């Protein structure tokens, strides 16, 4: 898994992240979702590494990266704090500007990084996500029935008790679908009480502070300044809940939003790696380089 990639624990000003990176070319930072770790990219990253320097961290609170000391410290678990980690990580690796893609919960950190650091992000890809404020303002019975876990995970203490009673049964996932090494990493994460608390902190911050940051941006008229490409899983819930996903994103972007669905379930990097790698390469790679591929 991740052959030729380097694996390091990198100490940053606010967190220590487990990071895997490799390849050559323009830098591309990939942010995973819940309840995965960076190893969810194990089939996509090598394909992208043909054209990019690919960087895959465990987000703060997830996997083997450091955890906020207090699971109810919404500031430390906020997407704004995790965006600072992303900037610090790419500074550490020597990339003053970079491309950025985030899936699921990672998409919210990617969005926040593009909003807070417009001079650092060259292009942004969002996978299976809409702005948290949009999700909450559009919440209806359909959303609540499909994504009820947003509200349960944000409650104090009880989610940890429910999950840790049987993490494998709660989250599901099998070795044949995830791949042996990715599955082992996933199982280690969901069976670690500190990691489960860290992952839940991401939801708590979403309901208590992240949407405030979104609202402040909207009120101030701030938008994503770089090109924005949105990808969603056709066999997941995003299009069922929102219909025209691109229309949800367009008010948040200065430029025309592009994107499309991919025929797979929620964990697109594991289920449709070739299609995802092709979509991301087509978006991130400069046109002049595409002609040489």
Give me the CATH number covering residue 201.
3.40.50.1820
Distances (CA, A) of 6 to 3, 55, 67, 82: 9, 10, 22, 22
Q: Name the pLDDT band for 69 (thresholds 50, 70, 90).
A: confident
Give residue 35's pLDDT: 98
Q: Report the number of distinct structural domains present in the chain.
A: 1
Query: Would you say residue 269 lies in a domain?
Result: yes
Residue recorded with tokens 């025309």: 256
Q: Name the pLDDT band for 71 (thresholds 50, 70, 90).
A: low
> Which residue, among 102, 81, 63, has the nearest Cα to 198 in the 3D structure?
63
Give residue 291's pLDDT: 44
Q: Per the structure block, which two tokens stand in for 108?
A: 């919210």
Query: Would you say residue 256 lies in a domain?
Result: yes
Query: Would you say residue 236 lies in a domain?
Result: yes
Question: How far is it, in rounded angstroms, from Cα 223 to Cα 232?
Answer: 21
pLDDT tens digit string along 256-293? 999 999 999 999 999 999 999 999 999 999 754 544 44
- Would you say 172 and 34 are in contact if contact means Cβ atoms under 8 Å apart? no
Give residue 140's pLDDT: 94
pLDDT tens digit string along 140-192? 999 999 999 999 999 999 999 999 999 999 999 999 999 999 999 999 999 99
Give residue 70's pLDDT: 74
Query: Would you say residue 196 lies in a domain?
Result: yes
Question: Which residue range is the domain that position 275 belongs to?
Answer: 6-290
Q: Per the structure block, which two tokens stand in for 283?
A: 């978006």
**Residue 266 bears catalytic tag:** yes
CA 104 from chain centre, in angstroms, equals: 5
Give residue 45's pLDDT: 98
Question: How far is it, in rounded angstroms, from Cα 10 to Cα 57?
Answer: 10
pLDDT tens digit string along 193-226? 999 999 999 999 999 999 999 999 999 999 999 9
Give residue 73's pLDDT: 73
Average of per-residue pLDDT across 126-134: 98
- Lowest-confidence pick of 62-71, 106-115, 154-163: 62-71
Average of per-residue pLDDT across 24-32: 97
Give residue 286's pLDDT: 74
Give residue 293's pLDDT: 43
Q: Which of 58, 104, 185, 236 is catalytic?
A: 104
Phi/psi for 229 (5° steps) reads -125, 130
Query: Would you say residue 1 lies in a domain?
Result: no
Give residue 289's pLDDT: 53
Query: Would you say residue 77 lies in a domain?
Result: yes
Average pLDDT of the chain to the nearest whole number: 95
């Amino acid at each position: 898994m991740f052959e030729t990639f380097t694996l390091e624990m990198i100490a940053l000003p606010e967190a220590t992240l487990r990071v895997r990176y490799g390849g050559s070319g323009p830098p591309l930072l990939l942010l995973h979702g819940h309840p995965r770790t960076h190893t969810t990219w194990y089939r996509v990253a090598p394909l992208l590494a043909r054209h990019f320097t690919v960087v895959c961290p465990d987000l703060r609170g997830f996997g083997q990266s450091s955890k906020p000391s207090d699971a109810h410290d919404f500031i430390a678990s906020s997407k704004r704090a995790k965006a600072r980690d992303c900037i610090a990580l790419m500074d550490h690796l020597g990339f003053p500007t970079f491309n950025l893609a985030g899936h699921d919960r990672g998409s919210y950190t990617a969005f926040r990084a593009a909003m807070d650091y417009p001079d650092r992000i060259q292009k942004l890809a969002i996978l299976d996500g809409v702005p948290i404020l949009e999700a909450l303002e559009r919440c209806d019975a359909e959303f609540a029935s499909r994504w009820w876990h947003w509200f349960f995970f944000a409650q104090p203490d009880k989610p940890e008790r429910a999950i840790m009673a049987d993490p494998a049964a709660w989250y599901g996932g099998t070795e044949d679908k995830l791949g042996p090494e990715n599955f082992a990493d996933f199982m280690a994460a969901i069976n670690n009480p500190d990691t489960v608390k860290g992952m839940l902190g991401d939801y708590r911050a979403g309901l208590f502070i992240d949407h405030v940051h979104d609202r402040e941006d909207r009120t101030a008229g701030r938008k994503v300044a770089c090109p924005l490409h949105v990808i969603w899983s056709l066999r997941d819930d995003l299009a069922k809940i929102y219909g025209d996903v691109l229309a949800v994103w367009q008010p948040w972007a200065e430029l025309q939003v592009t994107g499309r669905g991919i025929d797979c379930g929620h964990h697109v990097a594991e289920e449709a790696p070739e299609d995802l790698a092709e979509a991301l390469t087509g978006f991130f790679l400069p046109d002049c380089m595409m002609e040489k591929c």
